Structure 1
């Protein structure tokens, strides 16, 4: 078992898999939305890498079913459930204490700007925001809180929450598992030996839309200000 050598390990999904396996993965997925300080946790890359290790993770936790597909399905399903519970806690937190967050001072683990970004995203995409936010780092942490603040219908939120959680979990975990198998069989490449590159690619794919939205949003605000003047 590895020890935490630096803060960089906290951004490395393989570190969590080796440290705590199945149960730690579930906690991290829950914490990313259930605990608003979880925005820095490696959600997307953790799911993808967990898919690569799916069979080993299930075997060490429960014993293998003898089917790669079933092992991967068990992992994806339990992760999705943890994600659903996390969002429900985030929604409850938004209902109970959300408005106070707008008055809270920024700290190392909390930035008010993230709350405003999630609010803008929610306002722009409506109910679909709960589903879409699953695939966007930072935004997915604060969207359920904003949904609670604006008193989104509980049943509507639960339905979108479940859809988003299962789409997110199954797409990334199955992608990791079967792309690893594909690269091994077709190109004799073990993705486990290239995890750093994979993580960087996933981070770029998931953060570029947010950066682009922020950049172009600033440009629009500046243009609007110039027109007013």
Structure 2
């Protein structure tokens, strides 16, 4: 039991994932990317910081995966992000209304779903692209899209664009920053903290829910 707890504690340390798992680190990365966008419990997973760290350790990932070019690694991650969103869409399509009636638990907070609904109402289908760069919204945006039955072809267009923009921008940023500043690895904790602040700050500045206001979300 303690080993499982230690694993989840280390899960929020992306550097540990790449140093500890070595050859299998890419598969851990793919599993987390899929889970973060494919299941509503994935909102707590460290997607942005993990992609950035993957960029820093890009050469190691390539060596451990048949020496493929780094762009291939990014495309593989992007495909997994696309599949994760498709899973989220399916989840929302099949059980979206039930999720609004579901009680809060450790892994599920209804307010997160409501925030994503408001975000989607404001930005429409482009929310699927924007949400990729916002923790929590990244998880719930495809679920909302499925729940309100948006056209699947339109959903896939924005899904693919968002996944490619997210993976390429963050992973390349980590990759080339490491090339320019090799000592970056020594201050990774502070950089990850900065990424978390940058990606979560807009949520608190722009998305506010009035407790006294009653909204019809379905």
After TM superposition, is the score higher than 0.5? yes
- Secondary structure in structure 1 of the residue aligned to 2:181: helix
Q: Whole-Å Cα distance in 1 between the matches of residues 213 and 146 of structure 2?
A: 31
Cα 1:149/1:197, change in 2 over 3 Å: same
Q: Whole-Å Cα distance in 2 between the matches of residues 128 and 175 of structure 1?
A: 23
Aligned residues: 208
Q: Deviations for 1:111-134, whole angstroms, at most 9, x for unmatched residues?
A: 000000000000000010011100
Q: Deviations for 1:55-110, whole angstroms, at most 9, x for unmatched residues?
A: 10121122x24xxxxx2201110010000000001001100011100111000000
Q: Deviations for 1:11-69, whole angstroms, at most 9, x for unmatched residues?
A: 2112332334011101100000112111111000000000000110121122x24xxxx
Report the TM-score, using the length of structure 1 for normalisation: 0.86
Structure number with greater Rg is 1
1:37 lines up with 2:30 in the alignment: no
Structure 2: gaps of 5 or more residues: none
Residue 194 (structure 1) aligns with: 187
Shift of 1:8: 3.5
Q: Whole-Å Cα distance in 2 between the matches of residues 149 and 23 of structure 1?
A: 30
Residue 187 (structure 1) aligns with: none
Q: Whole-Å Cα distance in 1 between the matches of residues 6 and 59 of structure 2?
A: 27
1:15 lines up with 2:16 in the alignment: yes
Q: 1:160 aligns with which of 158, 161, 165?
A: 158
Q: 2:64 aligns with which of 60, 65, 78?
A: 60
Structure 1: gaps of 5 or more residues: 66-70, 185-189
Q: Whole-Å Cα distance in 1 between the matches of residues 103 and 213 of structure 2?
A: 29
Report the TM-score, using the length of structure 2 for normalisation: 0.90
Check whether the contact 1:93–1:148 (CA below 8 A) recurs between aligned residues: yes
Check whether the contact 1:72–1:177 (CA below 8 A) recurs between aligned residues: no
RMSD: 1.9
Q: Whole-Å Cα distance in 2 between the matches of residues 54 and 72 of structure 1?
A: 6
Residue 24 (structure 1) aligns with: 28
- Secondary structure in structure 1 of the residue aligned to 2:150: coil
- Secondary structure in structure 2 of the residue aligned to 1:11: coil
- Runs of 4+ in structure 1 displaced over 6 angstroms? 222-225
Listed as ranges, the matches of 1:67-216 within 5 Å are 71-184=69-182, 190-214=183-207
- Secondary structure in structure 2 of the residue aligned to 1:61: coil
Check whether the contact 1:34–1:90 (CA below 8 A) recurs between aligned residues: yes
Q: Deviations for 1:130-164, whole angstroms, at most 9, x for unmatched residues?
A: 11100000011000000001101100000000000
Q: Whole-Å Cα distance in 2 between the matches of residues 134 and 158 of structure 1?
A: 14
Cα 1:12/1:150, change in 2 over 3 Å: same
Q: Whole-Å Cα distance in 2 between the matches of residues 111 and 193 of structure 1?
A: 35
- Secondary structure in structure 2 of the residue aligned to 1:151: coil
